[in-house]
């Protein structure tokens, strides 16, 4: 499995700033598996009793992303996901962490088997799109010439 219609959209905001968005389509199974993976990675990452301010912000971002993906999965059919490069990177990292921790474990929970299989198929596409989006964001706005 992989993403459908994955691309980076470049536009200009109202103030002339460059806006980079990663866009891709996922089916309800991929969205549900992604939400499960992000939520599980977040839960495992932040189990510690002490959290720094940065940890709290990261946990908040992961929770919002998991909720967004879960909401999209509630509706049947394909859905277009639109993420800024930073949130796409968080998504990719959470999916990679989920896969890595399951691969290193001696056992796997039954509820993780299907989501693991699905997100494993998405990881390469996520990595490629993330690289494209970050490169586009770092490139800055396209040069404009006045006549």
pLDDT tens, N- to C-terminus, the chain (147 residues) = 568 999 999 988 888 788 999 999 999 999 999 999 999 999 988 887 788 898 889 899 999 999 999 999 998 889 999 999 999 999 999 999 999 999 998 888 999 999 999 999 999 999 999 999 999 999 866 555 454
pTM here is 0.88
Asked if 133 contacts 12 with a C-beta cutoff of 8 angstroms, the reply is no
Question: How distant, in Å, are the alpha carbons of 32, 62, 63, 130 from that of 38?
Answer: 10, 7, 8, 16
**Residue 144 located in a structural domain:** no
Is residue 146 situated within a structural domain?
Answer: no
19: containing domain:
4-139
Total tally of structural domains belonging to the chain = 1
Q: Is 80 exposed, middle or buried (0-12, 13-18, 19+ CB in 10 A)?
A: exposed
Structural domain contains residue 99: yes
Distance separating alpha carbons of residues 91 and 101, to the nearest angstrom = 16
Q: Residue 135: inside a domain, yes or no?
A: yes
Give, in degrees to the nearest 5, the angle at Cα 28 between 23 and 5: 30
Report the pLDDT value the prediction gives residue 41, as an integer from 0 to 100.
93
Q: Is residue 147 part of a domain?
A: no
């Amino acid at each position: 499995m992989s993403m459908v219609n994955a691309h980076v959209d470049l536009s200009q905001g109202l103030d002339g700033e460059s806006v980079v968005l990663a866009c891709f389509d996922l089916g309800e199974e991929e969205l549900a598996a992604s939400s499960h993976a992000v939520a599980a990675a977040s839960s495992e990452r932040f189990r510690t009793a002490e959290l720094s301010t940065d940890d709290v912000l990261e946990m908040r971002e992961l929770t919002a992303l998991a909720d967004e993906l879960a909401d999209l999965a509630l509706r049947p059919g394909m859905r277009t996901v639109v993420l800024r490069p930073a949130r796409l990177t968080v998504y990719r990292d959470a999916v990679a962490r989920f896969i890595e921790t399951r691969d290193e474990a001696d056992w796997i929970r039954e509820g993780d088997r299907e989501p693991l299989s699905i997100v494993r198929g998405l990881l390469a596409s996520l990595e490629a799109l993330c690289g494209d989006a970050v490169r586009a964001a770092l490139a800055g706005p396209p040069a404009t010439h006045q006549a």
